[in-house]
Amino acid sequence: MLTLSSLHKRYGSKTVLHAIECRVEAGQCFWLVGRNGAGKTTLINILADLIAPDSGSLSFGGLSYDKDELAIKRNLGVLPDKNPAIPQLTGREYLQFIGLLHELPPDECSRRAQSLLEYFFDETEDAHKRIGTYSHGMTKKIGLCAALLHRPQYLILDEPFAGLDPVSAAKLVRFLQSYLSPERCIFLSSHDLGYAQKIMTHIGILEGGVLQFVGSAEEFASTKDTLEESILQILQPKESNIQELNWLLQ
């Protein structure tokens, strides 16, 4: 279980996150939705221990970063917004490096890396090219492979569909649907409603640094509005007046 309790984060005089409360049970995919600059990446970075909250607590199955950092990270897979893949390494070399960090036996690491590369990459020869030559989508794929190599119990993904072509995005959807299990949970931040709604079991809508809604997909879809309409009612209750752009549209 992943538990966030009264998390706060400020940058200078600006409050980015205020009293964030949610819980993601095993077997659930929590989809975090919000506008650009809403604080989604800040929250992801707190979950990944890249930055610290100003106050509040974070628990992975009862473990905290203060006392159990290594135990948590052994079971944590993260795809951050800014992919940390090393551009001087080839894709395969990078996965071998990640395998060493997780103390995987070399043969097992190679077996897992090969199966991940065969699934996510159209051409496995790309694994022998330097990551610095990869397209945005290919870099995203190698980041996904690295996040999954050690079979994490907790999977945290920041915009995993950004840069992926439709075939690769569909593959990722099928994979994540299969990866959810009674022992695993996924925390997903994504602007891609079409893909994210095929995976999520729960949703949190972040606006003004506050989670304006937290609940199951069924609870959120209790109205006759479409998912997009329901989200926009929270994020943008007042419609923009396109007539103000008549000078451009005429």
pLDDT at 247 over 80: no
Give the largest Cα separation in the chain, rounded: 65
The string of pLDDT tens digits covering residues 13-51 is: 899 999 999 999 999 999 999 988 888 999 999 999 999
The string of pLDDT tens digits covering residues 189-246 is: 998 888 999 999 999 999 888 998 998 888 877 665 777 777 877 777 666 777 888 8
What's the pLDDT score for residue 222? 65
For residues 175 and 190, give the distance between their C-alpha atoms in angstroms, rounded to a whole number.
16
For residues 168 and 166, give the distance between their C-alpha atoms in angstroms, rounded to a whole number.
6
Cβ–Cβ under 8 Å, residues 199 and 31: yes
Query: SS3 for 54?
Result: coil
Radius of gyration (C-alpha) of the chain in whole angstroms: 19
Contacts with 114 (C-beta within 8 Å, 6 or more apart), sequence order: 124
The string of pLDDT tens digits covering residues 69-83 is: 999 999 999 998 888
Average pLDDT, rounded, for the chain? 90
The string of pLDDT tens digits covering residues 120-170 is: 998 888 889 999 999 999 999 999 999 999 999 999 999 999 989 999 999
